[in-house]
Structure 1
Amino acid sequence: MIDPDSAATQPPSGDLQGSSGGVAARHTEAAPLLPLVAPTTDDAFNLIKAPLKPIACWRVDDVRFEFGSSFVKPGAAAELQLLAQLMKAHPGSPITVFGHADPTGRDDDNKTLSGRRACAIYAALSRKTELWEKLYREPQGDDRWGDNALSSMLIALAPAPANEPAADDAAAVPPSTTPPQPSEATLDDYRSDAAKRTQLYQDYMDQLCGSSFVLSDSDFLAGGQDAGGKGDYQGCGEFNPLLVLSTQDDDASDADKRRLRDASNAPNRRVLILLFQAGAQVDPAKWPCPRAADGVAGCTKRFWSDGERRRSGRWPDRSRKYDQDKDTFACRFYDRLVDGSACEQAPMPVLFRFRNEVSGEPVCQAQVQVLAPDGSSQMYITDERGEIMIVGHPGTVYRVTQIVSPAISTVASVENSELSDHA
């Protein structure tokens, strides 16, 4: 259930409310159903049923997951608060969860990862710790929670150091405020004790979502009727990309180009939730999407006749974008559900490069504080190239407000960056 006193008092304003890792939005209200009828002397009748139409949406971006993993990072708390606000504004509206992957790698692997990410969000919202335990105990491909997930949860739950504020994302906190890494003995306790892991999942889920924002089966579109989550959460793999990179941008012929390709594909790696009219419910047996753990066959049977071209056809020097071209989603069922949704506009990556003003060398492992358009600030760590990547929407402005580097104590120039439609 949702405790109305625990969620923020104001619902998202306007059509779109964003954060540094996702968005929430209301959909345009559907026109009233006005069937045409005629008199009859027979006792026959036709059943008139309103189509299933989403009324709002929510999305969390790839930045809130470990790369190639379904583990949810601490910073996702910001987006989950947006979801709490959105659901408070639409009481009784059931939801369903879609996971999406980028178009690199094998279809089967991407279907699996996208389904595991959708499952991770579904489980966190409903506090089904047994699903997280399954993700932990049953790795798939590169998605292995292991010690990294255990450490991240323990660090996030550790008390903040005295006189220091807690950070949004423990993985991006400056060294002076980062809690110490868990000891090998502590990790071993959790490796060997499923009950301790279960309590860890519960505590971490409460921190991510807020202890009072807990959903029950009835809050999901299929009402928990299917043991595999059919109708409640699913993975779409790489079949519905927000953008299809140009041939030029998809070049991965060397390490640098591959890194840029993966960064450019970040908008495709997302988890999206749709909210429906209060009282809406589906029969899992009739729901078109396969279960999150199923293979790709159930997805491909729902493709448009030109689905392969839609999801993979490339132009030489311009990326195709769903919100502009309307022809990048292969699945016709999903395409019809989200047509016009503000949550399915492709965010854009912005690359900040930091160089020493004297030598021109990259400033590596520097703590960079960035002020986001919603007023929140977040710390990032520059990589070995002196770079950080931020994903946002056109027209948003990010300001670098502080830089702390092992090599230099101050940086004279602090600039804004504004995303444009041509970024």
Structure 2
Amino acid sequence: MFDGLYDIDWSSMEHAYGSAGEVPELLLALRSADGRERHRALERFYNAVHHQGSVYPCTTASLPFLFELAGDPATPDRAAVVGLLVSIGRVAVEEAEQEYADLVDFAGAAVVMRARAQAFVALAADADPLVRRRAVAGLALFLDDADRTLALLRERLTAEPDLAERLQVLDAAALLATRLPAARAATLAWLAGLAADPATNSATDPGTRLAAVVQRARCAPEQIGEDTVPAAIELLRELEHELTPDETWWTEPPSRTSPADGTPPQVLAAFDDLDRRESVHALTTDLLRTFHQALDSRVPERTELLAQRLRSPDPGACLDAIRMSGELVDAWRGDHSRLIELIMPHLGPAGQEGPWLEVAAEAAAVLQLCHPIAEPAREALAAYVLEQRTAHGPQV
């Protein structure tokens, strides 16, 4: 493994913070038996070699070695390496047609990813479910045969025993439909069949049907009908009876300890807070975020979804719903009194400890956004937002 690693003149290339001479050591550290060393190397790779989604010539040069790591069953944390590959490849193919200065190399990385796309066929069927979960997006991103890719995704959905992996398969299907127009019609038809009423589709579980509803809305937001959101809410209710809160999905990132470089504790605390804000606590949260993006300005429908979620017995689902409610209130005008009324009870943990205390803290933080002192600015702010969305589009 890694033949030719030191034949590359890494020091002649740069990453986000200067010379890329450290890249060979980072790649070797990803094979270390020491988990902390692997974690530090991966974090450094994201921070410097793949900084904020950038792809540099040194990033492209590292891809063959990352593929070697991902394909070797002896590599520890293979799923993390696969996730890194997909992250690099995703931005590379999205930006490959744009012209940039020599400092970045999206086009070169895209060529490598497409040339090695077959590797993701094997990784998406790997024995490790975490590897499969990270790899399946690679089928949609890097294979250019629409029919073959959709057939592979259908095969993966049938083979996956757990909902977490099935959600990723359907996410990849929507990604394929949005990337390759040739795949759109067949993918929409497949998703519609999966979302069908259980009387005609008894083999599909509520979680998979919910994902099919959401991903179809993502692919064709213009086809969202009056029955789409009620169907999703009913599936969420069914799903709550089948799923129990799973510690796997209630994960708080570890706090940083002060390093030898003397970083001020308040800076470390700020990054800890950022990690907490980006964390996800329920299995279906990413799916529901996708649904909210598809619904966009349909505030009443989004409110109905969040109202159902705020009543969940799962503290992780509640915390994520409170946070999403805050985002809706912060970004869109409307009658948000129902959400406020449903968030208020979460201020008290009702004698429960552990994660419910985190839910109470999140409820307090969201309610802080709703202070009536901002009322006089409502119309002026709304006019400004509308002006900017009209001029620059909904993602401004």
TM-score normalised to structure 1 length: 0.24
TM-score normalised to structure 2 length: 0.26
Q: Which has the higher contact order (CA 8 A, sep 6+)?
A: 1
| Structure whose residues are more often strand by fraction | 1
| Structure whose residues are more often helix by fraction | 2
